[in-house]
Amino acid sequence: MTQQPSQPSRLHDFFGAAFFIGIMAVGYYYNLTFVQLGLIDLGERVLDLPRTRVAGHMALLAILTAGIAISVGWWSRRRAWGSNLRLRARLAFAVVAAQTGLTFFSLHIRDEAVFLIWLVVCAVALGVGVPVTFSMTVDLVPRRWRGEAAALITSIAYLTANLLPSNWTLEALTQPLLWIMPPGAAVLGLLAFLPWPFWGYFELRHLDQAYFRGRYALRNQGRKFSNSPLFAFILLMFVVFFIDSLGFLRMLETPLFMASAWQSDELWIRAVLGITHVVGALAAGVLYDALDVRSLFYWIFGIFALVHLMYTFSLRFAGQSLPLSMPVLYAVAVSIYTVVNFALWADLSTPKNAGFNTGIGVAFSGWFATFISTALAVYWEANQMPLDRHLNIVDSLAFLAFIALILLAFFSKQKVTQI
Amino acid sequence: MKSYRIRHLLITAILICLAAWLSGCEQAGVYSAKLVLDGDLVIPAGQQESALVAIGTGSLTVKGGGTLVGDIYQIGGTVWIDGIVEGDISALSGDLRIGPTAEIFGDVLLGGSNATVDPSAYIRGELLESASQLPDQGQRNFITDASPGWRLGQAVFLVLLAAALGRGLSAPLKRVAIALFEHWLPSLALGILIFLVGLSLIVQMMFTVILFPVSMLGLALLGIAVLFGWVAAGVAIGKLLARRLSRLSSLPLQAAAGMVVLLLVQGVLAVLPGFGAGILIIPLSIASLGAVGLTRFGLVRFIPADQRQDPD
């Protein structure tokens, strides 16, 4: 007997979307603060390791996470986890519980060998978490809401990350997480393991292709599914993450930039940046639904190119302080690409391949690119590459990506015309 | 024939308004400027230059006995003042040296520059370390504080512009109006991006000094886009009015009537306590910018991506 999708219920859909937004926002906040900043502090300050060594460990984490995410994604496609939402919810609970334990344990690491073992376990949790949670988009968020859902995830994560904590030490970064994660894990456990009536509704929702099949996967309906858009977007997102991380860490640690940006002691500066992230994310969420996603990539690369140019320009003139407009613009670009990252993978997928697509997409473009570029940035800094040269390279990459995208768009249009 | 005469009259009226507006730009020589990009601009003793000077990587020297009438904006390079400056000096970066014989008849803002000011130099205004020390000029409401004649002139200009554009560019205006009112959220979202990025880009171009004229063009383009969006909003309101008033049958009349309504609402909001014209002007201008962007100045019809027919 063929299974039929359940009748749409707006209330259930809202609940499903809210559940997804909650999980992803906390997950992204964890990633933004604890993983990206906390680990560097743990390695450098707490364990007193040299920068290059920490960079190497970060690269190890990246490669492991990417490899595990792809493997789990592949396995999920093979085992048809795409049609078993409750199993993925239970796995998500296991991941959150493990991450809660890892966060608590991180405060007690005093040895490099323990740090390495801890990193491996951390990579496993992250690698399993990526395909499991991202693929839930296909079951819980209707296609037309994906831009807005991604915008809310981005807004909540960045606003909180800008307001909390006040400094970027491991202790300060873990504090809010240890408040949020244990109750969050408990709620997730209760939802995942108890026989709630809504599971029956959500487990069949992905069969309603009119609502839940991805926007770009929809175009391939009725013919063999093409992987070329997936690989093109993986490449684009890889470049975006790479450019962002390559310059960001260096900027964050430059005293001239610190006072007027994310690490400022002034709450109002961080609040302005947090609100900018929210505005940028909401605008991107609306535009994600309204425009072709390619136009958002023009904005992302264009803004990155402009803002790095502004940073290098201000360095050349060596003023006493920097205007807030630069981090504001940077925050807008970051918010746009984060929104695209949260919505795009599910929109390239069908329920069957959502786990694999999100696994490979986030692993390559997010984790791999971020940590490889962070490691490269740390390596350059350790080798005393001047700041203006560092940012010049980032700026050049952003300009190149912008121009390449324009050329690509031009030639792809030519091809269509020929057909 | 009649329509030709009306069009002719409208275009003539707009040209007169534009000419009057541009002629106002001549006042006090504010709109003439000298850009020093490279090399040296030297004002020797006994010579007088009248200009607003912006410095790139070159240098400006006002020798003892020389006079510069106008402001100096320094964005790098070197400025040496030993003579007279009848204006303000704003040094954002670069090297500034004010010698003992210098006489500055304005404020000196040091900003991020590497400055040396001789104690014997005469500065009539204030010597400020940063822009935050600039005297508070008080908040000015450009709508309520402007003279009634100026406000009336502006309103007449906008209404005539709406009527003229409604006559000559009816199809593009309709497309922008549809984007603005039926897809106001994407318009607002895109408007925010264009506003933030556009302004940053323009300011950045100004700082290069070489691209100063291009940045002025960019600013003008943003202004034109906002104005076009406002006229489109007028068209949409005029169409609503036309459902009640049969006399408003033609698009130019609808555009003009809609613009009058918009200006009236703006005027009422400006004088209402607890409100301000900004409550209408800011979101409408930003959404206008976005609607113009979505429709490429009304050249294409905007259809949201999720409503487009799938080519496959």
Whether A95 and chain B come into contact, CB under 8 Å, resolves to no
Half-sphere exposure of B136 (CA within 13 A, CB side): 2
Instruction: Tell me the shortest Cα–Cα distance from B128 to chain A, in angstroms.
Output: 14
Closest chain B CA to residue A416 = B311
Residue for token pair 């309103």: B155
| Bridge partners, B78 (sequence order) | B59, B95
Chain segment B50-100, per-residue pLDDT in tens: 766 767 667 888 988 888 888 888 877 788 999 999 888 888 777 888 989
Specify the pLDDT at position A62: 86
Chain segment A274-283, per-residue pLDDT in tens: 999 999 999 9
Element (H, E) at B104: strand B103-104
Within 8 A of B183 by CB-CB distance, chain A residues are 290
Specify the pLDDT at position A20: 94
Q: Which residue ranges in chain B fall short of pLDDT 50?
A: 1, 24-30, 138-139, 310-312
Within 8 A of A221 by CB-CB distance, chain B residues are 312
ipTM: 0.85
Task: Provide the 3-class DSSP secondary structure of residue B8.
Answer: helix
In three-state form (DSSP H/G/I as H, E/B as E, the rest C), the secondary structure along chain A is CCCCCCCCCHHHHHHHHHHHHHHHHHHHHHHHHHHHHHHHHHHHHHCCCCHHHHHHHHHHHHHHHHHHHHHHHHHHHHCCHHHCHHHHHHHHHHHHHHHHHHHHHHCCCCCHHHHHHHHHHHHHHHHHHHHHHHCCHHHHCCHHHHHHHHHHHHHHHHHHHHHCCCCCCHHHHHHHHHHHHHHHHHHHHHHHHCCCCHHHHHHHHCCCHHHHCCHHHHCCCCCCCCCHHHHHHHHHHHHHHHHHHHHHHHHHCCHHHHCCCCCCCCHHHHHHHHHHHHHHHHHHHHHHHHCCHHHHHHHHHHHHHHHHHHHHHHHHHCCCCCCCHHHHHHHHHHHHHHHHHHHHHHHCCCCCCHHHHHHHHHHHHHHHHHHHHHHHHHHHHHCCCCHHHHHHHHHHHHHHHHHHHHHHHHHHHHHHHHC
- Nearest neighbour of A317 by CB, restricted to B93, B188, B306: B93
Within 8 A of B75 by CB-CB distance, chain A residues are 317
Task: Extract the tokens encoding A398.
Answer: 């952003």
B298: left (phi over 0), alpha (psi -120 to 50) or beta: left
Q: Which residue ranges make up each domain of chain B? A: 31-133, 148-307
Whether A320 and chain B come into contact, CB under 8 Å, resolves to yes
Angstrom distance (rounded) from CA B19 to CA B37: 31
Closest chain A CA to residue B191 = A283
Specify the pLDDT at position B37: 64
* Lateral strand order in the sheet of B103-104: B48-50, B67-69, B84-86, B103-104, B122-123
- Nearest neighbour of A310 by CB, restricted to B130, B204, B311: B204
Tell me which long-range contacts B14-17 makes (C-beta under 8 A, separation of at least 24).
B14/B157, B14/B160, B14/B161, B14/B164, B17/B153, B17/B156, B17/B157, B17/B160
Mutation choice for B interface testing from A155, A317, A321 by most B CBs within 10 A: A317
Residue A39 Cα distances to A111, A245, A274, angstroms: 14, 15, 22
What is the share, in percent, of chain A residues with pLDDT greater than 90?
A: 32
Task: Provide the 3-class DSSP secondary structure of residue B279.
Answer: helix
DSSP percent split of chain B into helix, strand, coil, nearest 5: 50, 20, 30
Residues constituting chain B:
312
Specify the pLDDT at position A267: 85
Angstrom distance (rounded) from CA B157 to CA B162: 9
Residue A75 Cα distances to A102, A138, B249, angstroms: 25, 18, 66
Residue A367 in contact with residue A130, Cβ under 8 Å?
yes
- Nearest neighbour of A303 by CB, restricted to B75, B190, B197: B197
First-to-final CA distance of chain B: 49
Confidence of residue A318 (pLDDT cuts 50, 70, 90): low
Q: Which residue ranges make up each domain of chain A? A: 10-418
Which residues, at least 6 apart from A147, have a Cβ–Cβ distance to it below 8 Å?
Answer: A284, A285, A286, A287, A288, A289, A339, A343
Task: Provide the 3-class DSSP secondary structure of residue B305.
Answer: helix
Chain segment A210-245, per-residue pLDDT in tens: 677 788 876 555 555 566 678 888 998 898 889 888
Specify the pLDDT at position B311: 42
Angstrom distance (rounded) from CA A381 to CA A379: 5
Residue for token pair 């749409």: A8
Mutation choice for A interface testing from B185, B282, B295 by most A CBs within 10 A: B185
Superfamily of domain A10-418: MFS general substrate transporter like domains (1.20.1250.20)
Residue A218 Cα distances to A223, A270, B23, B212, angstroms: 10, 40, 58, 47
Specify the pLDDT at position A389: 86
- Nearest neighbour of A219 by CB, restricted to B112, B196, B310: B310
Closest chain B CA to residue A311 = B204
Within 8 A of B310 by CB-CB distance, chain A residues are 218-219
In three-state form (DSSP H/G/I as H, E/B as E, the rest C), the secondary structure along B141-207 is CCCCCCCHHHHHHHHHHHHHHHHHHHHHCHHHHHHHHHHHHHCHHHHHHHHHHHHHHHHHHHHHHHH
Chain segment A270-312, per-residue pLDDT in tens: 899 999 999 999 999 999 989 888 888 888 888 888 888 888 7
Contact B200 A290 (CB under 8 A): no
Measure CA B270 to chain center.
21
Q: Which amino acid is at B310?
A: D
Whether A179 and chain B come into contact, CB under 8 Å, resolves to no
| Bridge partners, B40 (sequence order) | B59
Confidence of residue A123 (pLDDT cuts 50, 70, 90): very high
Specify the pLDDT at position B312: 39
Whether A150 and chain B come into contact, CB under 8 Å, resolves to no
Whether omega before B119 lies within 30 degrees of 0, making that bond cis, reads: no
Q: Which amino acid is at B130?
A: S
Chain segment A335-385, per-residue pLDDT in tens: 999 999 999 988 888 888 888 888 899 888 888 888 778 778 878 887 888
A337: left (phi over 0), alpha (psi -120 to 50) or beta: alpha
Contact B207 A313 (CB under 8 A): yes
Q: Which amino acid is at B90?
A: S
Instruction: Tell me the shortest Cα–Cα distance from B306 to chain A, in angstroms.
Output: 6
Q: Number of CB pairs < 8 Å for A and B?
A: 84
Instruction: Tell me the shortest Cα–Cα distance from A413 to chain B, in angstroms.
Output: 13
- Nearest neighbour of B304 by CB, restricted to A290, A318, A321: A290
- Nearest neighbour of B201 by CB, restricted to A221, A306, A332: A306
State the average pLDDT for chain A. Answer: 85
pLDDT of A52 over the 90 cut: no
pLDDT of A187 over the 90 cut: yes
Q: In 10 A of CB B18, how many CB atoms?
A: 12
Which residues, at least 6 apart from B141, have a Cβ–Cβ distance to it below 8 Å?
Answer: B270, B276, B277
Over residues A82-104, the mean pLDDT reads 91
